Amino acid sequence: MKALIDPQKCTVCGVCEDVCPVGAISVSETAAVVSDDCTLCGMCVDTCEFGAISLPEVGTGPKDDLSAYRGIWVFAEWRQGAIHRVSFELLSAARKLADKKGVPCAAVLLGSDLDGVAPSLLEYGADTVYVIDHPNLAAFTDEAYADSLVALVREKKPEILLAGATTMGRSFIPRVAALLQTGLTADCTDLDISEDGLLLQTRPAFGGNVMATIICPNSRPQMATVRPRVMRPEKDARNGRIEKVDLPEEVFRSRVEVLEVIPEEDTTARLSEAEVIISGGRGLQKAENFRLVEELAQLMKGAVGASRSAVEEGWAPPSHQVGQTGQTVAPTLYMAVGISGAIQHIVGMQGSKVIVAVNKDPEAPIFDVASCGVVADLFEFIPAFIQRLKKEG
């Protein structure tokens, strides 16, 4: 199967030919022609201003009675006592989607010794908070978390299930989707309801160079993980209720044994959680100079990132690397210090809200994605900026 061309609409303009990342489109005298190299990536569809390109439909029709599924659920991520902020963000988003569809909105809380934890979820718009409280859920394992959530989904049949795209969500939610035999879209940055009531899931692909909107037409629930810090948490209490759920013992089993959980004490190392990241690159010239980045990060209560070259030079450990082979981050503030902005780096940070670039080369590609550019010698600028921050505080 390959992309479909409507020869009536095709004007032979050739735009799609230039866009196809696998070179599968050529333009004949009468219409664009798609070769067997087509991977159905969809990149060409939106670039055709005449609407001549479409993709064939997935699947072989609805799996079962889709109308039996109702309501929007959010997996509430609990970590030793606290609920992760992303769960409140998602609940606020889910509340709006539920109102748009006219269906109930629920949160599902998994963990151990959960007394007193659930009420906070009611404040963010849940009509119901389902609580699965079991000692085997004290430490996270993919099997116990997925299998107990799946048991509840099978019983209650929600039409949509959302979770945070954290390391926890990205690890066990694919198991949930596979057990339920339904579609899953990772790392969404926007959610909406289509005219025919389907969940429109928009996410970055190719490292954020393109956006894709994805639907799950034939199976339920429609599942998505959503990037933290994209949605805004808003209090919206609705007289919801808390329901404790009893599930058969076998859903709490795990073949994996958790030997140790070691929290990272050094907050400058927690990149994926950080609201502020200060990153250093080759422009810092040597290991000692990396302290400038660390000092600024500490002052702003942020984490320390590094470009691939800074890691290869040994100035920062690999766990701090931002970019294609390191971590993808999207903090509120990303400050790139002495980083030129190779594409491998850009794809790992371009989703950040505010990007500040400090580089002495005004032609550096990092300025193409910056919201605020500082063309300066970082060895003058950063110490002066640190002084300015100290003066205020």
The minimum distance between CB 174 and other proteins, in angstroms, equals 4
* Residue 270 contacts residue 159 (beta carbons within 8 Å): no
User: Applying CB under 8 A, does 162 fall inside the site for other proteins?
Assistant: no
Q: Is 322 annotated as a binding residue?
A: yes
The per-residue DSSP string of 110-164 comes to EESS-TTTTHHHHTTT-SEEEEEE-GGGSS--HHHHHHHHHHHHHHH--SEEEEE
Part of the chain binding other proteins (CB under 8 A), chosen from 4-12, 38-46, 111-119, 241-249? 38-46
The minimum distance between CB 226 and other proteins, in angstroms, equals 13
Tokens (6 digits) for 40: 């159905």
- The residues pairing with 149 across neighbouring beta strands, listed in sequence order, are none
The minimum distance between CB 385 and other proteins, in angstroms, equals 5
**Which residues does 18 contact at the CB level (< 8 Å), separation at least 6?**
none
User: Applying CB under 8 A, does 255 fall inside the site for other proteins?
Assistant: yes
CB closer to other proteins out of 115 and 265: 265
* Residue 106 contacts residue 126 (beta carbons within 8 Å): yes
User: Applying CB under 8 A, does 258 fall inside the site for other proteins?
Assistant: yes
User: Applying CB under 8 A, does 22 fall inside the site for other proteins?
Assistant: yes
Site for other proteins in 329-348 (CB under 8 A): 332-333, 343-344, 347
Q: Is 327 annotated as a binding residue?
A: no
* Residue 3 contacts residue 45 (beta carbons within 8 Å): yes
User: Applying CB under 8 A, does 257 fall inside the site for other proteins?
Assistant: yes
CB closer to other proteins out of 242 and 375: 375
> What's the rounded Cα separation, in Å, for the pair 309 and 282?
6
User: Applying CB under 8 A, does 66 fall inside the site for other proteins?
Assistant: no
Site for other proteins in 91-130 (CB under 8 A): none
The minimum distance between CB 239 and other proteins, in angstroms, equals 33
Instruction: Give exposure, 206-238, as e/b (b: 16+ Cβ within 10 Å).
Output: ebbeeebebebebbbbbbbbbbbbbbebeebee
* Residue 169 contacts residue 225 (beta carbons within 8 Å): yes
CB closer to other proteins out of 178 and 237: 178
User: Applying CB under 8 A, does 196 fall inside the site for other proteins?
Assistant: no
User: Applying CB under 8 A, does 219 fall inside the site for other proteins?
Assistant: yes
Site for other proteins in 354-393 (CB under 8 A): 354, 356, 367-377, 380-381, 384-385, 388-389, 392
Site map 259..288 versus other proteins, x via CB under 8 A: xxxxxx-----x-xx-xx------------
CB closer to other proteins out of 116 and 263: 263
> What's the rounded Cα separation, in Å, for the pair 64 and 42?
27
Torsion of CA 59, 61, 62, 63, to 10 degrees: -70
Torsion of CA 295, 301, 305, 310, to 10 degrees: 10
* Residue 228 contacts residue 165 (beta carbons within 8 Å): yes
User: Applying CB under 8 A, does 142 fall inside the site for other proteins?
Assistant: yes
Binding-site positions read 282, 307-308, 321-325, 338-345, 359
Binding-site positions for FAD read 282, 307-308, 321-325, 338-345, 359
